[in-house]
């Protein structure tokens, strides 16, 4: 008998909200090197202002209501209570689409994107492009977390979500879309479950990071290898600690909301197309809704696990193997890494759409929901008829 999801509505106890505000009011901020700004990490002035806003003005209940406006469910799967949004498409033949977020994101990233996919006619699009959208909290993240439950690698997440789509919801053929860890999950689904996948659409490219694999790079490949070397040298410190000593880091981030906010906010600023001013790309309320979900669920430690699993195990698409399902890529200019098509095609053998955009970064669903939704719809128009 198929597993039966139960309806879910988020309601954080008021005493948890009060405790958050109390802790924010008791924050002991660090000092800062003179004139350092963001060059050494999260800027002190910005973080003082953000903590004050979080404590005194941010409306968690409004954020909660935005999430609760979508139909949500939980189901016992793979040893956890898996949380997911399941939004019916408004069109003649909605195609099921799995949306997967990443770190340090959550389902809050998708609240502007989902309506543009489920009801394109409402936004000037063609109802024939509608999707029924399934957007889970990744296993071990947010509302799919409980203390001392199993940990999940990207491969285990893909297996869990494949089971959700087919064994629980009954979809024999579906599309998958994602950025960050969501792109690893989509790629893994295309590799491990090609008979179920109509296509995968990515806004981040999950390629192996072995520079020595490119013996005689083209100029474009050389540009990427320089970009990769800079990222690994200057921007990957979080991966090193999350991938080796996640438990130690979790004590500070689970106990201090200001510490949690600094750890996450620095990544939103560094990875978005904000030109140094985060709120030109992502609103303060959207940022804090996401951070608050990590805080209230206590899921930060479990959310580190994919980094640990990747550091101590194989790449989700094994070396020398390929992803052969139809693939689309939305190339946003401020993405963390931007490998050229010549390298991508070594792993993804059926690239049907590659679109470059003028604005946008790593958090495309938050930064550019109209552009991302339009590209997803255009890509699946090429392959959704294959059921």
Q: Catalytic residues, which ones?
A: 180, 307, 362
CB-based contacts of 177, cutoff 8 Å, min separation 6: 97, 98, 99, 100, 186, 200, 201, 202, 203, 376
State the burial class of residue 337 (Cβ atoms within 10 Å of its Cβ: 0-12, 13-18, 19+): middle
Please list the alpha-helical segments (H only) found in 231-315: 237-244, 246-255, 257-271, 284-297, 300-303, 305-311
Report the b/e string of 215-242 with b at 16+ CB within 10 A: eebeeebeebbeebeeeeeeeeebeeeb
Reference 307, options 364, 243, 261; nearest CA is: 243
Q: Are 117 and 133 in contact (CB under 8 A)?
A: yes
Q: Are 77 and 10 in contact (CB under 8 A)?
A: no
Q: Are 340 and 224 in contact (CB under 8 A)?
A: yes
Reference 363, options 291, 306, 287, 298; nearest CA is: 287
Calculate the CA 198 to chain-centre distance: 21
Q: Are 105 and 180 in contact (CB under 8 A)?
A: yes
- Please give the Cα distance from 369 to 386 (Å, whole number): 26
Q: Are 355 and 329 in contact (CB under 8 A)?
A: yes
């Amino acid at each position: 008998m198929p597993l039966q999801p139960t309806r879910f509505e988020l309601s954080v106890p008021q005493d948890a909200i009060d405790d958050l505000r109390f802790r924010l009011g008791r924050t002991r901020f660090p000092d800062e090197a003179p004139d350092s700004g963001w060059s050494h990490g999260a800027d002190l002035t910005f973080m003082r202002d953000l903590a004050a806003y979080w404590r005194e003005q941010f409306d968690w209940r409004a954020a909660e209501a935005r999430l609760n406006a979508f139909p949500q469910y939980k189901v016992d799967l793979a040893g956890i209570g898996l949380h997911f949004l399941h939004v019916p498409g408004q069109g003649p033949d909605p195609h099921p689409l799995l949306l997967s977020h990443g770190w340090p994101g959550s389902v809050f990233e998708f609240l502007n994107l989902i309506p543009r996919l489920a009801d394109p006619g409402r936004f000037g699009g063609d109802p024939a492009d509608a999707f029924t959208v399934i957007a889970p909290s990744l296993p071990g993240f947010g509302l799919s977390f409980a203390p001392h439950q199993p940990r999940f690698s990207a491969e285990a997440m893909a297996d869990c979500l494949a089971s959700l789509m087919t064994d629980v919801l009954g979809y024999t053929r579906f599309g998958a879309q994602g950025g960050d860890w969501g792109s690893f999950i989509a790629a893994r689904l295309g590799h491990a479950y090609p008979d179920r996948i109509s296509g995968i659409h990515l806004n981040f490219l999950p390629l192996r990071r072995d520079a020595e694999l490119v013996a005689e790079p083209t100029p474009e490949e050389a540009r990427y290898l320089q970009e990769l070397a800079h990222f690994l040298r200057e921007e990957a410190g979080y991966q090193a600690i999350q991938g080796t000593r996640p438990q130690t880091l979790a004590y500070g981030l689970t106990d201090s909301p200001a510490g949690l906010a600094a750890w996450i906010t620095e990544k939103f600023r560094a990875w978005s197309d904000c030109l140094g001013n985060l709120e030109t790309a992502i609103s303060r309320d959207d940022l804090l809704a996401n951070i608050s979900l990590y805080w209230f669920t206590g899921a930060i430690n479990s959310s580190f696990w994919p980094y640990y699993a990747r550091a101590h195990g194989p790449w989700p698409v094994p070396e020398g193997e390929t992803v052969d399902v139809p693939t689309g890529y939305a190339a946003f200019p401020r993405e963390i890494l931007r490998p050229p098509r010549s390298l991508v095609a070594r792993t993804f053998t059926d690239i049907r759409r590659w679109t470059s955009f003028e604005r946008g970064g790593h958090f495309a669903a938050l930064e550019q929901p109209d552009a991302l939704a339009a590209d997803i719809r255009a890509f699946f128009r090429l392959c959704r008829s294959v059921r």
